[in-house]
Every structure is written in structure tokens, then in C-alpha cells.
């Protein structure tokens, strides 16, 4: 059963999965913020193409990984974070 769409520190290591059930990476880091959505960084799957990364908006790598737009998060499950679009 999904929780809300907020990713927390306890979600590190969870798979990030698209609507098409493609695993695109895993949550590498979560930076908690006082107001608004936490900053979420993903380590992409080693087989993920550059075009797929571009579609996900992952163009600039930070030290922690690629930042995931919180508007893309559809649901947070026990074992994965599902993307909405």
C-alpha cells in the first residue's frame, strides 16, 4: 500500500521505477528541508541510456547523484518509489 509521495531518509536504497515498470535507479540520498519537498537524489541504473536520463530530467549530476523532481513521484511503497510521469 502506498504512502504519501514524500521521500524521507528511510527511503534511501529503494528502487526508482517508472510507470512502465522499468527500474531506472535507486534513491542514493535524501536531503531533508524544513519547508517543501525533500531533495531526492538518484543513482541511475548502469544500463540506463542517456536519452532515458534526459527524459527524466537527469542532465546535471550532483555529488549525491541526479536530483529527482518531486513532481514526478507518484507513490512511495515499502520497497520502491514509483514515478508518475
Residues making up the chain, counted from first to last? 85
9-21 average pLDDT score:
96
Q: Give the per-residue pLDDT at 85.
A: 75
Domains and CATH numbers, the chain: 9-83 (2.30.30.240)
**26-69 pLDDT, tens digit each:** 999 999 988 888 999 999 999 999 999 998 989 889 899 999 99
| DSSP string covering 17-44 | E-TT--EEEEEEEEE--SSSPPEEEEEE
Q: Give the per-residue pLDDT at 2.
A: 54
Q: Which three cell numbers stand for residue 25?
A: 535507479
6-16 average pLDDT score:
95
pTM: 0.89
Amino acid at each position: 500500500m502506498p504512502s504519501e509521495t514524500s521521500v524521507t531518509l528511510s527511503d534511501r536504497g529503494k528502487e526508482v521505477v517508472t510507470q512502465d515498470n522499468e527500474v531506472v535507479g535507486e534513491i542514493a540520498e535524501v536531503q531533508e528541508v524544513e519547508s517543501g519537498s525533500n531533495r531526492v537524489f538518484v543513482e541511475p541504473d548502469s544500463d540506463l541510456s542517456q536519452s532515458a536520463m534526459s527524459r527524466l530530467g537527469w542532465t546535471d549530476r550532483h555529488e549525491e547523484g541526479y536530483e529527482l523532481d518531486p513532481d514526478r513521484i507518484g507513490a512511495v511503497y515499502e520497497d520502491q518509489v514509483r514515478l508518475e510521469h
